[in-house]
Structure 1
């Protein structure tokens, strides 16, 4: 069953060499790289539909595709004591390209030490020197090639097409408090302030579906099936031999001669493992699932970046003024249609800052996303006044949460408990981070155009009050990771070759394998993981 009606022969052919579950940031990369060998038959299963929604391809379209059940899984966390019992919406892509079709397009790799720490923990081949070639392999960098960047990959990375005065002022204010200018936070060092780059080409989003999957679909050895919701893995002893999935109300079975690869993300991958009887025996029994393979770490080690969003009213114009009136929105739309420039090319943020919450730290531990607009909920429209947003998050939180099924039925969403701010260090960092945000806001030339701190507001002053502000005004920055972690300790789920411990014929390849979350946005690292995994899979095939 190829990209459309397909042939009856292909519909009946349900045995393949590799089955990839999830056509997201990782799955599309794997489908491309594995199908490069014409002798390998690949089946790619995606629970969502095709990426036909035009808002997917317009950079600012995430305002329309997030929280939209036709493109988003629309997960919601459990009530979390660390954020005053609030539940947060966790968007995850349910469409070709996965979250790379919904995200804010920001291209960030993380820090050298992130990957070196993975290797030091026993994951050979995951140090920075080993993974850098995979970042370069996927990348088509608009600035050209150098030691850190490539130009021959399918993923287009380009400079922003929108710049505004308030963003320039923010950069100068950050420099005024001692944060160095850095034009390439994905280069020699991450620390500093500068403009983000984004995954886009000629004013359009460059998702992994567009970059990797679309060209590969021309190959006869790659089969894509959309609207295919995987129910469980098929185990024969300690070998995974295939998968069952539901499509158009009918259950189908697909057999993998070599491997099944889970690329369903930090929520979907552990959920499918648990529904298949792979996980913590006590938990599985409690929800009526027979434990077929004990692996207590499945669904544990959940990490996410929690952002505190500070909003400042200004005496100068911001994007709020450009887009809040209907006539101006029409003008913005016309500008985009004619020139592929303007506010509709806006990534999730303009300015990034990587810095230290305390001067004595060895490396940056907080990140800022500065947006030249403000809103309570972006999908509901911007504020009726001039303002900008300064969001700050802790890069390497110590708090750990979990993803646990509550039913054997894979169609019932699992329990998601982030346990935000449960670690004392995280509470200290979030307070210090707000102080740094206020330092930037208090520096020239930014301070001269700020009229008021609107959120959380100047009444929050003491450390206890700032912590309360963090609990009340924080939001996810959409980076769940770590729930099928790589390692060799008792709670590890996969080894350094991403094979599930104790089983044959199954791997996990997505952000869930991160032992510790990377210091920054997670999409580029997930693509890197898939690039490296494709080589590992081919190497293991050659050894057969």
Structure 2
């Protein structure tokens, strides 16, 4: 088969492959890159977005252009959230090869050991921490840390930031001042503590899953076929088996067939959507949309959850080290662009969320339950609301929310808008944990270390009581971009896939992406999604 980095018409109607992978994001890129290491099999990767290899993706600060727009971004929204005063939330998701690994803040975080041990305890054999650690290491090429927790030689490059921003040291000084522990490896023996994030970059450029796993092979492997701008419409079933995919590309509908498996890797929102429009889901919900039922599987689209997140925002007089809208800042950025072009260092290589870490809101907790992201810019409304001048921000998110929501259809096709309901702060205990996380973060940002940096507290200056905190949480909380769980792995009646990620009730079909997580990990979800795909490749190869 012909390979391409661009849109192609090579996939004729009823072209046949061993595997079809739907979605060229973090998981799909891994699957396509790894499975085609075997030259005896063929694979077609369908990606609804573009090529994912532009300056906007490769240059780290390009994310600020992507986040508030529809460039390489699905830019979805939720239904009105009862826990957020009826507000609709924003759900940016990557729409190109690499998926959200091409648009995210690049923090390399795996979660906590106990996340995976919990998955295994729920009946997901093979998913304990000791069993998934080899796949994290297999994926990784860590430039700095060489020990039993980290890998070298993997496709995903993990490096230190190349910004040398003095605000990093201000953040660490504040942590020391208020007595919070420091940590220089959140993926090692201990997760708790604050520090500077390692990032998925190589030579100061973004290392998306596509850059690590897919792009090196697209022009070299005749068994790897990639279709971009190709939106899957439905999975084709014959006699209870997935045998192909209908997709739309440049307005033309096409069909391809799979002799072995169809693999859905379209993410926590569109994986359940594709299953449902194809006839896999809750019978009553499908029939209400006029969709013929292939298999009644009530868990599809259920168990959706995400880390609810609050952002502190501050004006700053530090125009040298923070991003912002000012004449002086504009001249400085021009100089930084020249520096980046020369040696790929400086502010243009920033992931914005340069520091952060994990804290326990109560000493009695076994593991941290809140995560911080310290940003060297003023963030308001996902960078959609801009402020003159310069600033800094600090996110605090709840790592183990109890609230669960749904993904539902509004119509029978992939073109109909999704009804996304994370049910943020739906459980009262989530609110109280967020109150505690708010207080811990406010204590950090009120430290003397920040006195020469912060000139104005924009969002929380008048917040004094716990009721004030609850009110501002409901007014400002939204996603920190970690939706999972909507096609959960398990052995109970609401599970969608087995521990080998096969969809229950049909043959030849798997889901492999963040939607299979039974419970969200304690941290960012990109590295775990890549791990899931690495492990899935071994299961597929073993015939499991």
Normalised-by-shorter TM-score class = over 0.9
Structure 2 distance, partners of 1:125, 1:474, is: 35
Deviation at 1:272? 0.1
Greater CA drift, 159-168 or 220-229: 159-168
1:465 and 2:468 equivalent? Answer: yes
Q: Is the 8 A contact 1:199 1:205 kept in 2?
A: yes
Which residue does the alignment assign to 1:22? 23
Structure 1 distance, partners of 2:79, 2:63, is: 24
Q: Is the 8 A contact 1:318 1:373 kept in 2?
A: no
Which residue does the alignment assign to 2:121? 120
2:110 is paired with a residue of what secondary structure?
coil
Give the gaps of 5 or more residues in structure 2.
Answer: none
Which residue does the alignment assign to 2:412? 408
* Distance change (3 Å), C-alpha of 1:2 and 1:122: same
Deviation at 1:3? 0.6
* Distance change (3 Å), C-alpha of 1:137 and 1:4: closer
Structure 1 distance, partners of 2:535, 2:437, is: 34
Q: Is the 8 A contact 1:303 1:480 kept in 2?
A: yes
1:266 and 2:268 equivalent? Answer: yes
Which residue does the alignment assign to 2:147? 146
Deviation at 1:119? 0.2
* Distance change (3 Å), C-alpha of 1:7 and 1:520: closer
Which residue does the alignment assign to 1:188? 189
Deviation at 1:330? 1.6
Which residue does the alignment assign to 1:227? 229
2:500 aligned to 490, 497, 500, which one?
497
Structure 1 distance, partners of 2:301, 2:383, is: 31
Structure 1 distance, partners of 2:13, 2:6, is: 13
Which residue does the alignment assign to 2:240? 238
Which residue does the alignment assign to 1:172? 173
Structure 2 distance, partners of 1:410, 1:473, is: 30
1:540 and 2:514 equivalent? Answer: no
Q: TM (normalized to structure 1)?
A: 0.95
Structure 2 distance, partners of 1:207, 1:175, is: 33
1:133 is paired with a residue of what secondary structure?
helix
CA offsets per residue over residues 56-91 of structure 1, 9 Å max, x none?
110011111224334111111111111111112211
Which residue does the alignment assign to 2:292? 290
1:307 aligned to 302, 306, 309, which one?
309
Q: Is the 8 A contact 1:77 1:88 kept in 2?
A: yes
Give the gaps of 5 or more residues in structure 1.
Answer: none
Structure 2 distance, partners of 1:371, 1:508, is: 34
* Distance change (3 Å), C-alpha of 1:448 and 1:34: same
Deviation at 1:337? 1.3
Which residue does the alignment assign to 2:480? 477
Deviation at 1:320? 3.9
Which residue does the alignment assign to 1:514? 517
Structure 1 distance, partners of 2:204, 2:432, is: 40
1:529 and 2:529 equivalent? Answer: no
Which residue does the alignment assign to 1:98? 99
Q: Is the 8 A contact 1:63 1:378 kept in 2?
A: no
Greater CA drift, 320-329 or 27-36: 320-329
* Distance change (3 Å), C-alpha of 1:180 and 1:242: same
1:176 is paired with a residue of what secondary structure?
helix
Which residue does the alignment assign to 1:361? 365
1:252 and 2:254 equivalent? Answer: yes
Deviation at 1:167? 2.7
Number of residue pairs aligned between Structure 1 and Structure 2: 540
Deviation at 1:339? 2.2
